[in-house]
Amino acid sequence: MLGASASRGRKAAPPSVKLGAAKEAPATVAAAASGGKVSAEEVWEVRPGGMLVQKRGGAADDEPSPGVKPVRTIRVKAKHAGVTHEIYVSSEASFGELKKLVAAKTGLHPDDQKVLYKDKERDSKAFLDVAGVKDRSKVVVVEDPEARARRLIEERRNGHLQKAASAVAAVTAEVDKLAPKVAALDASVRKGEKVAEKDVVQVTELLMNELLRLDAVVADGDVKAQRRMQVKRVQKYVETLDAVAARNAATVRKSGAKPAPPPPQQQQQQARQARWEMLDLLSSLPSTSSASSTTTVSSTASSGAPPTNRLDWMLF
């Protein structure tokens, strides 16, 4: 009695299924595992790795839900420069997307287009279905000269900014190469060692050349800030080299050795700089030529003598 009741309480074990048989007839295996009854949800399949799994998504899952309407593709007739183009676009697309498709047909930039529907200009962010565009609707596409001018100005400005950014980046790379030399010269002088004056002059000239390149860069915004930062960096290195030259000269004087004479090119640069300073000084003085000429004219007029030209020497 106990054995019979125990056998009744236990459930019948499903028959064993071989993997090879499952690969050959998965539907039969599924029927055997479920006791001969296969429901629509329990459809089995064998994966490439040999695993028997329940199949996901049948033919019923591929069908669209009855509550969701599929998005239609409509044909819009766009007229531009006397030529009508047929554009296939989604009914829920925006006028901006329509402009891109029109640009592919006509070559007119999307930002330069002005789309008219029912004699009214439509914004690029507006949607076709909201505006009432349907299948075989007609729109007119014209070129907007003001928008084209704004786009060209913006592209030119971006091009100038990109060029300026490239110039600043090139100067930054050159200054990065010169920075270790400045640090090495400064470290040597701080230790009391002598450095070659020509090395200090050479690095200074290279830094001044980079400073002139930065001065020629015209930029705005972030590029202008980067340019200003590099200018301050180069000026700091030049000041460091000036201090290095002064300390090196003091070290040479203490050692009793005569400093090496500057090269001829450096002498010419110093003379040229002195001339420019003299010209700047002369240009800053008040002009007295008008007063002297007035006095001369008045004196000659009172004496009755013919006036003499005091600027004859300038003809030479």
Kindly state the average pLDDT of the residues 75-80: 92
Kindly state the average pLDDT of the residues 37-56: 62
In this structure, are 17 and 41 located in the same domain?
yes
| Measured CA angle at 82 (ends 80, 87), to 5 deg | 45
Residues in contact with 98: Cβ distance below 8 Å, sequence separation at least 6, in sequence order:
76, 78, 87, 89, 115, 128, 139
**Is residue 282 situated within a structural domain?**
no
What DSSP string runs through 292-311?
HHHHHHHHHHHHTPPP--TT
User: Residue 240 maps to which CATH number?
Assistant: 1.20.58.120
User: Residue 96 maps to which CATH number?
Assistant: 3.10.20.90
| pLDDT in the model for residue 253 | 79
Checking if the pLDDT of 74 tops 80, the result is yes
**Is residue 26 situated within a structural domain?**
yes
Nearest to 18, CA basis, from 35, 36, 33, 3: 33
**Is residue 127 situated within a structural domain?**
yes
Kindly state the average pLDDT of the residues 181-187: 92
| pLDDT in the model for residue 102 | 93
Backbone phi, then psi, for 209, in 5-degree steps?
-65, -40
Domain assignment of residue 216, given as a range: 152-257
Checking if the pLDDT of 255 tops 60, the result is yes
* Structural tokens at position 249: 């000269």
| pLDDT in the model for residue 297 | 44
**Is residue 77 situated within a structural domain?**
yes
**Is residue 293 situated within a structural domain?**
no
Strand, helix or coil for residue 78: strand
Task: Tell me if 26 sits within 8 A of 44, measured CB to CB.
Answer: yes
| Measured CA angle at 221 (ends 219, 223), to 5 deg | 55
In this structure, are 86 and 128 located in the same domain?
yes
Checking if the pLDDT of 252 tops 80, the result is no
Total number of domains constituting the chain: 3
**Is residue 124 situated within a structural domain?**
yes
R_g (Cα) of the chain, nearest Å = 45
| pLDDT in the model for residue 100 | 93
Q: What is the pLDDT of residues 96-148, one digit of tens each?
A: 999 999 999 999 999 999 999 998 999 999 999 899 999 999 999 999 999 89
